[in-house]
Amino acid sequence: MSRILVTGGAGFIGSHLCERLLADGHQVLCADNLLTGSLSNIEPFFGRGDFVFLKQDVTQFIHIPGPLDAILHFASPASPVDYLKLPIQTLKVGALGTHKVLGLAKEKAAKVLLASTSEVYGDPQVHPQREDYWGHVNPIGPRGVYDEAKRFAEALVMAYHRSHGVDTRIVRIFNTYGPRMRAGDGRVVPNFICQALAGQDLTVYGDGKQTRSFCYIDDMVSGILAALDRADSDPVNLGNPNEYNILELAEKIIALCGSKSNLHHEGLPVDDPKVRQPDIGRARSLLGWEPTVGLDEGLARTIAFFKEQS
């Protein structure tokens, strides 16, 4: 059994990581200031002897008594609605939060995995995106607070690895979806599902021809834990390489919900990426990982979750 800290553990991906780690027999410490996370995501784990919740802002000093084997650093607003509303907090957790986490990892001789993002590639001029692509990011645009927070976090992780010998991992996470997403978090899958279930028109930004890839949460968690075990210090993309445009996604969700919703078009947000597709060749060769849950199956499970919430 390992003792593992998950920052942002009450969030969407973080709570699923806590659940899987507990199922695998590890002791889990979940740190979250609940800025965008929710206690409802982790309530089923309360009362267990192998789970501890810490209401903690990771931009402040982190004190963890006793040994620590690994840290999964997932603390950060992660949807456009959140980081556009919380720009300074987003920058602080990427910089100060990552610094505190790395200091803790150095003190405890713990392995640390940074949850980075496909947003480090910005509005990419290379397609699909490989880990050796440096990106096309507007540092002063509204999305820059998230993009640059994660790019700085990657640089800081590599500095601690090179200067202090900290055992580090960086995963660049592409669009992930599934149960426990927030209805109002602004991401396309929960937006479309909630609108379709309510019989409302689905809001499509721009012409809907922009593309995304969608990875189901169970596959993502498996990839993250494989990276923790087997990755090296260089970044690795995690995502589903199957690419869909937003109109195709809307049609799928309308059909799976049995909805009669139509589409409503609005203007494209500033710096919104036109394409997004991971090259996961490195994850396949290094981790032996690739997604197994198809989009229709994953959407059906996610729709069932949102039906239960209504």
Backbone dihedral angles phi then psi of residue 208, each to the nearest 5 degrees: 80, 5
Distance separating alpha carbons of residues 135 and 151, to the nearest angstrom: 10
- Cα→Cα distances 132→120, 163, 166, 291, Å: 12, 22, 22, 21
Angle, helix 217-230 to helix 12-23, in steps of 10 degrees: 60
83, 146, 177, 216: the active-site residue: 146
Neighbours of 12 (CB within 10 A): 27
Active site residue 216: no
The answer to whether residues 45 and 17 touch, using CB atoms and an 8 Å cutoff, is no
The answer to whether residues 228 and 286 touch, using CB atoms and an 8 Å cutoff, is no
Distance separating alpha carbons of residues 167 and 111, to the nearest angstrom: 5
Structure tokens at 60: 């402040």
The separation between CA 26 and the C-alpha centre of its own chain, rounded to angstroms, equals 21
Residue 116's beta-bridge partner residues? 172
Active site residues: 146
